[in-house]
Amino acid sequence: MTDKEIYDLWLSKFKDLRYLRPRRWKHLKDFIQKNSIKSVIEFGSGVSTLLLDSLNLDILSLETNKFYMGKVHSLCSSRVRFKLWNNMSLDIQESFDLSLVDGILPRLDQIEYAMKHSRFIVIDDYIAKSNKLLTGYKRVDLSSAPLGIFIPKDNQVMVDVGKIFSKYPNIHKLKYTNFYQRHFVNLQPKLLLEIGVLKGDSLRAWKDVFPNCKVIGIDINPLCKAENPDLNVYIGNQKDTNFLSKIINEVGLPDIVIDDGGHKRSEQVETFKFIFPKLKVDSLYIIEDLQTNYLDKWNDQKLSAIDYLKSLIDFKEHLKIPYKSITFEPNKGQSICIIKR
Ligand SMILES: C[S@@+](CC[C@H](N)C(=O)[O-])C[C@H]1O[C@@H](n2cnc3c(N)ncnc32)[C@H](O)[C@@H]1O
């Protein structure tokens, strides 16, 4: 649908106030297209939701009115996630490329959330000027539309994970680009450990994403070390706890662990059980490709990693291995999980 068709559809269904003006939308759309924006959180569902949806973005739309939300939902594609927001709490941990804090009366917690969890904040110029919170921010778009786009003054070059991944032809992560963009933006890890090196391109990409971080890899295949002398690679089995202990003793505890290794049920479970409880609070542990849990080739034990991770939600297990959040993200037949210590 063209923008005009979306507006016409909207006006035929709703004749109400929630209305992102075409001039503002044109300006926002140009910005989104030029800056590889892939994911957006918006406060308040409306015509903006349909317009953003037309750009094939990952969208989380928060809305306080259940009836209204249902109506907007029925007009959007399945890519858009809606969350009923009870106006009391804003309990979201995810990060997005862009936060749309539109409207003339944004709440303080929306702005604070946007500052913590997004690369760009879209907000009315009037609010930006009058709100002291945004004094450390600068307007990055030069348009005269009253909806400004802001980034922190000291963070002029925003990391674009998609661009970095595209530099590396042998990386096995393109399907998770949006996931990593959302979860890794604004992190400053000192040590990242990836299990599964293969050609080494993911380790190289992590070094680009986090230039001040030491990046190390584990692989069972000795060629991964021999063929990548530029990388810190340790050769061994991810299930071998003596091997893992030796590495941790040598380099310390990672702030981020990514399991993209053997993908067998036992490997995903054993490695997590050994490493995760040792991690410092707020460290992240990611397991890629959990769909393998359901495929014969990787099905080597009764307990799947998905079932094991689900069991952590159980109160008793939760106390044994405390963690802050556990988030599964299905993605076109691929599935990934991020657990925050
Ligand atoms: C999917 S590839 C890694 C891809 C790489 N992380 C990327 O994104 O480009 C999986 C790697 O895990 C390694 N691997 C398989 N089983 C393993 C195990 N039990 N312990 C350690 N590494 C293992 C394989 O040798 C292979 O290089």
Ligand 1 centroid distance, CA of 57 (Å): 30
Rg (CA), the chain: 22
Tell me the best of 175, 224, 260, 301 to mutate to test the pocket of ligand 1, counting ligand atoms within 8 Å of each CB and taking the most: 260
Q: Residue 232 carries which side chain, given as an amino acid letter? A: N
Does residue 86 surpass a pLDDT of 90?
no
C-alpha atoms less than 13 angstroms from C-alpha of 280 in its C-beta half-sphere: 10
Q: What is the pLDDT at residue 341?
A: 95
Question: Distance between CA 267 and CA 305 in Å, rounded?
Answer: 9
Ligand 1 centroid distance, CA of 168 (Å): 17
Of ligand 1's listed atoms, the one at least distance from the Cα of 199 is 9
Across residues 189-215, what is the average pLDDT?
Answer: 93
Give the pLDDT band of residue 59 (cuts 50, 70, 90): very high
Of ligand 1's listed atoms, the one at least distance from the Cα of 201 is 9
Ligand 1 centroid distance, CA of 273 (Å): 18
CB-count burial class (<10 Å; 0-12, 13-18, 19+) for 243: middle
Residues with CB under 6 A from ligand 1: 171-173, 194-198, 201-202, 218-221, 224, 237-239, 260-262, 267
Q: What is the pLDDT at residue 146?
A: 78
Q: The CATH number of 161-340 is which of 3.40.50.150, 3.50.50.60, 3.30.360.10, 3.40.1380.20?
A: 3.40.50.150
Question: Distance between CA 108 and CA 122 in Å, rounded?
Answer: 14
Share of the chain above pLDDT 90, in %: 55
Tokens of 221: 């295949």
Q: What is the pLDDT at residue 92?
A: 81
Question: Distance between CA 120 and CA 171 in Å, rounded?
Answer: 27
* Contact in structure between 289 and 259 (CB atoms under 8 Å): no
Of ligand 1's listed atoms, the one at least distance from the Cα of 198 is 27
Tell me the best of 238, 244, 265, 300 to mutate to test the pocket of ligand 1, counting ligand atoms within 8 Å of each CB and taking the most: 238
3-state SS class at 243: helix
Give the pLDDT band of residue 205 (cuts 50, 70, 90): very high
Mean pLDDT is highest, among 20-29, 210-219, 249-258, for 249-258
How are beta strands 58-63 and 80-84 bridged, if at all? parallel
Does residue 155 surpass a pLDDT of 60?
no
Beta strand residue intervals within the chain, DSSP E: 39-43, 58-63, 80-84, 96-101, 118-124, 137-139, 147-152, 191-195, 214-219, 232-235, 256-259, 284-287, 325-331, 334-340
Of ligand 1's listed atoms, the one at least distance from the Cα of 171 is 9
Share of the chain above pLDDT 70, in %: 96
Element (H, E) at 41: strand 39-43
**Dihedral through CA 173, CA 178, CA 181, CA 184, nearest 10?**
-70
How are beta strands 137-139 and 147-152 bridged, if at all? antiparallel
Q: Do domains 3-152 and 161-340 have the same CATH topology?
A: yes
Question: Distance between CA 251 and CA 66 in Å, rounded?
Answer: 50
Fold of 3-152: Rossmann fold (3.40.50)
Give the pLDDT band of residue 154 (cuts 50, 70, 90): low
Q: Residue 93 carries which side chain, given as an amino acid letter? A: Q
Q: What is the pLDDT at residue 141?
A: 75
Give the pLDDT band of residue 87 (cuts 50, 70, 90): confident
Q: Other C-beta atoms within 10 Å of 81: how many? A: 14
DSSP structure string for 154-207: T--S---HHHHHHT-TT-S-GGGHHHHHHHHTT---SEEEEE--TTSHHHHHHH
Q: Other C-beta atoms within 10 Å of 307: how many? A: 12
Q: Which has more confidence, 143 or 266?
A: 266
Question: Distance between CA 14 and CA 8 in Å, rounded?
Answer: 10
Among 33-47, 151-165, 231-245, 264-278, the minimum mean pLDDT is found in: 151-165
Q: What is the pLDDT at residue 18?
A: 63
Ligand 1 centroid distance, CA of 299 (Å): 16
Q: What is the pLDDT at residue 157?
A: 47
Ligand 1 centroid distance, CA of 226 (Å): 15
Q: Where are the domains of the chain?
A: 3-152, 161-340
